[in-house]
Amino acid sequence: MSTSPLRLSRVPLLLCLALDACSQRKEPELTAPAAVAAPAPPSAPALDAQLIGERLGATPRALPGGALAVSVPRSGVAWKVEGSAVVNALSTELLLWPVAEGAALSGSVELLEDEVNPVLDTLLAHGIRVVGLYNRQLYDEPRVLVLRFEGRGNPALLASGCQSISSVLRDARLRSGKPLRELPGDAPLPGTLDADALSGLLGVTATTADGVVTFEVPRPASETGASAPGMPVPGAPMPAGPLLHASLSGSDARAALSGTLLLSAPQIVPTLTALRTANVQLVGLVPQDTQGDTGWYALYFRGKNNSLALMRGLAQALIARAQR
């Protein structure tokens, strides 16, 4: 069978067309997978104003954003400033607002001197931390102090913790109509202090002058950087001075302790808890910068006990501080 020359000439032409078509075929474009939407943060539940009001015995005032403000006035305290009576000036002020954990709390209470540490104890027992203690006025009688505190968690439990403040204040005035003029504990007796034995509890060398033994604990090397665990955020100013400065006077049997301890916000609660077990009292808590929850505080303390118990309390406070 013969093949037409025309038919044979078509074969190269068809082959060329097929190769050209293959060379121009486009591969399917690759596209990025659709982005997965991030889960929305859980919405904060609204606060139950009625429940909080019942726990506090006061009517909350609604604020924008679902926040509640509560003012609990205090009566029955005769207070004078520069000899002039100030009537119904003391109160407990609370602000709660909804957060994912339930509620956030910021508050302050105005106290007489012998009420500070009993109120501190009840706040610590309810998981509420203290963030400030300072004078309300100058030249006042009796002395009134302002204790500031904060907390986060179950709103009903926070309200119960705040309500316990009123119970502590009532009990303090039932025990004594007028505020006590000295810290609890036996007054120090003149005598000698074993500086070497007491120094060993803190691992530092004490100095003795005029019967007063003074200790200084330097800042640990781990806190020389602002990004160390538990420390302020990078860039936060670091206060000058030692970690701990403390002085003991009196005798080993009956001594008085006073001093200052530098700490960050997360360290306040465990440190205060350790100090209170040795009958060491909070007498001041002052922020050292403006960094808020990441800032530094100076904790001023004073206590009366035997010298060994006081120094053990300081040692335990330093251990508790280092663990946060």
Check which CATH number belongs to the domain holding 276 and give it: 3.30.1460
pLDDT for 265 equals 86
This prediction has a pTM of 0.77
Number of structural domains found in the chain: 2
The answer to whether 246 and 314 are in contact (CB under 8 A) is: yes
Q: Report DSSP letters for 56-80, one per residue.
A: HTS--EE-GGG-EEEEEEE-S--EE
Q: Is 182 within the bounds of a domain?
A: no
In a domain, 212, yes or no: yes
Confidence at residue 18, expressed as pLDDT on a 0 to 100 scale: 42
Q: Pick from 147, 175, 203: which residue ends a domain? A: 175
- Asked if 209 and 148 sit in the same domain, the reply is no
Residues 202 and 164 in one domain: no
The answer to whether position 36 is within a domain reads no
What six digits make up the tokens of 7?
Answer: 């038919």
pLDDT at 324: 72
Q: What is the pLDDT of residue 322?
A: 87
Domain end, chosen from 175, 205, 240, is at 175
Query: What is the CATH classification number for the domain harbouring 155?
Result: 3.30.70
Tokens representing 223 are 């806190």
Q: Could you say which DSSP state residue 196 is in?
A: H
Query: What's the Cα-to-Cα distance from 120 to each of 71, 79, 139, 283, rounded to whole Å?
Result: 19, 22, 24, 11
CB within 8 Å of 189: residues ≥ 6 apart: 250, 251, 253, 254
Residues 127 and 202 placed together within one structural domain of the fold: no
CA–CA separation, 85 vs 108, rounded Å? 22
255 and 215 belong to one structural domain: yes
The answer to whether residue 24 sits within a structural domain is no
Considering the domain architecture, whether residues 199 and 309 belong to the same structural domain is answered as yes
Question: Has residue 2 been placed in a domain?
Answer: no
The pLDDT averaged over each successive group of 10 residues in the chain (324 residues) is: 45 42 45 45 81 93 94 90 89 95 95 94 93 91 94 94 94 89 84 90 90 89 56 56 91 94 90 91 84 73 93 93 83
Taking alpha carbons only, the member of 127, 119, 121 closest to residue 154 is 127
Q: Are 294 and 232 in contact (CB under 8 A)?
A: yes
Q: 304 and 258: one domain?
A: yes
Tell me, yes or no, whether 290 lies in a domain.
yes
pLDDT at 225: 54
**Which domain does 133 fall in, by range?**
49-175
55 part of a folded domain:
yes
Q: Are strands 61-62 and 90-99 parallel, antiparallel or unpaired?
A: unpaired
145, part of any domain: yes
